[in-house]
Chains A and B, each alone.
Chain A
Amino acid sequence: MRIDLVARPQRSRLIEIAAPVAAMAVAILIGGVVVALVGRSPLTAFDVYFIEPLTQSYSLQAIAVKATPLVLIATGLIFCYRANFWNIGAEGQFVAGGALGGWLGLVTHDGALQGAIGGWWILPAMMVLGAIGGALYALIPALLRVRLNVSEILTSLMLVYVAQLALDWLVRGPWKDPEGHNLPVSVNFDPAASLPLLVDGGSLHLGVLFVPLAVALAAVVFSKTLFGYSVRLAGSAPRAARFGGFDDRAIAIAAFMISGALAGLAGVVEVSGKIGQLLPSISPGYGFSAIIVAFLGRLSPVGVLVAGLVLALTFVGGEDAQIAMHLPGDLTLAFQGVLLACVLAADVLARYRLLVSWGWGARS
């Protein structure tokens, strides 16, 4: 059997949008099969995962809150991936930003440092610190790649483990709440260091507003600015980029820092909006799920927004399914992996036609 790819002459918008949708459909089908294999009803599972969460206010809020870090991180990843830099360490940058921003929340606990001017400055400062923390942490793999040609895939990934272990040590050690009954948690942030809720009694916090802002900015940068042009060019035709006078090292560093900053921002938003303190682990794998979001959204800011909402839906649905149907949480993870695989396949099929030939022809 032999599979051949024949380039399609035109790239229609229709196919480009239909492809991820088709991928989603196939992944859901596969998921349904797996659910049936573990002895549950696929229809019920579909309802619990995808439909139910859309009908309740609390779960809609949860989706928005969950989507926030996914979309923020994925938007940053677009800058790296479009330039062909494989930043796999967004999870670590998320943690670094959350830790640095969260640190400010710790030191301003119980009214400290708020004296005469009050606490209005704390939240903005935390956001900035979060972005800086993530950006600096992403600078490490960026510099190693640009200066020494070390694979950014491996370095950024190794640094994820380092960041997670560092935070773990901090929260169990120096940052542990002395009055916390020896629990491995930090002090709770003051209200001045917590993102306010938008809905009384709900979970929707101010941090979600960063999302449309980031997406809009990214969209404008990519389509209209010379910088965005240079990022796209660096990934699409690196020799041409150098010929055009664009500094590929500068682009690499900028892309990584933007990506790290957004991941770090997502981290501090999560910490000060959702969690309200620092814990040994502040992410259930957002940095990795965001990679799926980035590809599912076909590396475009608006696409990533939609994809992030969809994936957040599966997270929330997955949590509900764990309770309602005793379906394990790992199923969600596996589903996301399948989804990414389907998206990759659909992406290729959007650009090429498949020709399957049987039997003859011992070529390749």
Chain B
Amino acid sequence: MSTGSAISSPDIVPQAAPLLAARGLTKRFGSFVANDRVDVGFARGEIHALLGENGAGKSTLVKMLYGLLSPSEGEILWQGAPIALANPKAARALGVGMVFQHFSLFENLTVAENIALALPKSERLERVPARIAEISRAYGFALEPDRPVYSLSAGERQRIEIARCLLQDPKVLILDEPTSVLTPQEAERLFETLETLRGEGRALLYISHHLEEVKRLCDRATILRLGKVVATCDPRAETARSLAALMVGAQIKEVRGAGAHGLGEPRLVVAALSAPSPSLHGVSLKRVSLEVRGGEVLGVAGVAGNGQSELFAYLSGELIAGRAEAILIDGEPVGDVGVTGRRALKAAFVPEDRLGHAAAPDFTLSENIVLTGHGASGMTHAGFIDAKKALDKANEVVATFDVRKSGADPLARTLSGGNLQKFVVGREILSKPGLFVVNQPTWGVDALASAAIRQALLDLSARGVAVLVISQDLDELFEISDRIAVIHAGRLSEPREARETTREAVGLMMAGMDEGDHAH
């Protein structure tokens, strides 16, 4: 493993034999088969996509290639010979690097310290800042060694992860959903870096479920569904539709809007809400104003960490801003009212984290009904919970929203991501709200459940409910929103009609730039 300079490779044509390959690779967790006899090979000088929807097994596969998980069956081949990877250290020693979707960064430590921790012991601590400077020059991105990580944006943090890998001169670089936290402009810069790396003769694995990206960037694609390889192809030769069909294995019902329907009165009005963030590394809200009418879907776009959680918390009443008039629900000032009071006004809320926030993981489904339903009439009598009523309600949600579960009243944590999300969203819809606020409605949810949830949101708006959707997924927002606003650094932009704006324009606002600026 060389210590500094990039691999020099004059080859432009990628070598045919794969550098890293999986043969019959299988991984089981208990009775659940995450990867089922996967055969795939990754060649030098190639960007190879791993496509699949949430839960298809992409992450599990690459974790095995990186030594984080051990295979149940099958083998991993390096340059044709089988190897056993005991741990990530072994994988790195071989020349495999990985940039995870969820960064392994230590918030309170500096950039240099974070990078140093990922380097082998032979690297001396004092030399790290100099090495960082080398990498920055070679690949054209800036990293300040002494800044604490909590002060960095998502794009900057990702660069730390990439730098960690590059400093060990990997022959194979795996990237897991790298653009999920980036603005469109930051994603472009990433692609440039990846193309440089490909030119150096490295093999790149690119995991994604964003088809347009894959078509733009990747030379080959392997598609996983339910743990199996269903196809290998050249993504440039396929259409997005055909790739999607392969990924899902069925034609997804297109989400249909209900057609034009009249808009009612403003049911949610936020007037110049300025409020601090409760967490140390959070973002405060600055004079946020918005209005959602009955029958309308207002989408709030933004890259994670720009104030979405804070906005949701102040809207739901988990945080109180103090000024009663700052938030009006159906005309009632509720700025100083708590969650239960807002629910009494027929407002419903679905937060981002389904396990631990929207639902209590170790409580049963019926107990989770009580979580948000205890204020509703009939759920409690003189402080005593009506367990039968809660169970009936839970069964109603399960039946109406096709929630798959095992057992009569299982613990929330036993449901899959998609099913739990359907339960949580369904629970709030069945409370017959007039205002519906949801944060990341389909994050980490499989395509079928996502479509069902988005359809449910559109149906709500058709019934005259005011719907506010906060989401990082621009596709989703453009699919269901009537108007779109962008939250950046705690400020909310003026909403625009979804029909009259473009992804690029929204992307610029997500990065904090006006349409007039140019991305650099």
Contact = CB atoms under 8 A, between A and B. Distances in A.
A contacts B directly in the complex (CB < 8 Å)? Answer: yes
Interface of A: 9, 224-227, 229, 232-233, 236-237, 239-245, 247, 360-363
A239 B353 contact: yes
B356 interface: yes
B385 A225 contact: yes
Given A225-B384, A244-B339, A360 B86 contact: yes
A224 B385 CA distance: 6
Given A225-B383, A226-B380, A237-B363, A243 B89 contact: no
A9 B29 CA distance: 11
Contacts of A240: 356-360, 371
Given A239-B353, A242-B318, A245-B338, A361 B359 contact: no
A237 B356 contact: yes
Contact of A244 (B87, B362, B371, B384): B371
Given A226-B374, A226-B380, A362 B360 contact: no
A245 B87 contact: no
B361 interface: yes
A11 B356 CA distance: 20
A229 B385 contact: yes
Contacts of B343: 245
B499 to A, nearest CB: 34
Interface in B171-230: none
B310 interface: no
Contacts of A245: 317, 338-340, 343, 372, 374-375
Given A361-B87, A362-B89, A9 B30 contact: yes
Interface in B333-366: 338-340, 343, 349, 351, 353, 356-363
B380 A363 contact: no
Interface string B387-405: 1000000000000000000
B433 to A, nearest CB: 15
A227, A232, A360, A363 interface centre (most CB from chain B within 10 Å):
A363
Contacts of A225: 383-385
Contact of B360 (A9, A237, A361): A237
Given A243-B358, A363-B86, A226 B339 contact: no
A262 B463 CA distance: 53
B370 interface: yes
Interface of B: 30, 86-87, 89, 316-318, 338-340, 343, 349, 351, 353, 356-363, 367, 370-372, 374-375, 380, 383-385, 387
Given A233-B360, A236-B360, A245-B340, 16 more contacts: A225-B383, A225-B385, A226-B370, A226-B384, A233-B371, A237-B356, A237-B362, A242-B318, A243-B316, A243-B371, A244-B374, A245-B338, A362-B86, A362-B87, A362-B89, A363-B86
A350 B446 CA distance: 33
A345 B385 CA distance: 34
30 contacts: A9-B30, A225-B384, A226-B370, A226-B383, A226-B384, A229-B374, A233-B371, A236-B360, A236-B363, A237-B356, A237-B357, A237-B359, A237-B361, A239-B353, A239-B357, A240-B357, A240-B358, A240-B359, A241-B360, A242-B318, A242-B339, A243-B339, A243-B351, A245-B317, A245-B340, A245-B343, A245-B372, A361-B87, A362-B87, A363-B86
* Contact residues of B: prevailing secondary structure: loop
Nearest to B387: A224
Given A9-B30, A243-B372, A244-B339, A224 B384 contact: yes
A11 B30 CA distance: 15
A165 to B, nearest CB: 38
Contacts of A224: 384-385, 387
Given A236-B362, A237-B360, A363-B87, A226 B316 contact: no
B89, B317, B371 interface centre (most CB from chain A within 10 Å):
B371
A247 B340 CA distance: 10
Contacts of A243: 316, 318, 339, 349, 351, 357-358, 371-372
Nearest to B343: A245
A101 to B, nearest CB: 29
Contacts of A362: 86-87, 89
A241 B356 CA distance: 9
B383 A227 contact: yes
Instruction: Sort A-B residue pairs by CB-CB distance and give the 9 closest, nearest first.
Output: A245-B340, A237-B360, A245-B339, A244-B371, A240-B360, A239-B357, A363-B87, A236-B362, A225-B383
A233 B363 contact: yes
A243 B363 CA distance: 15
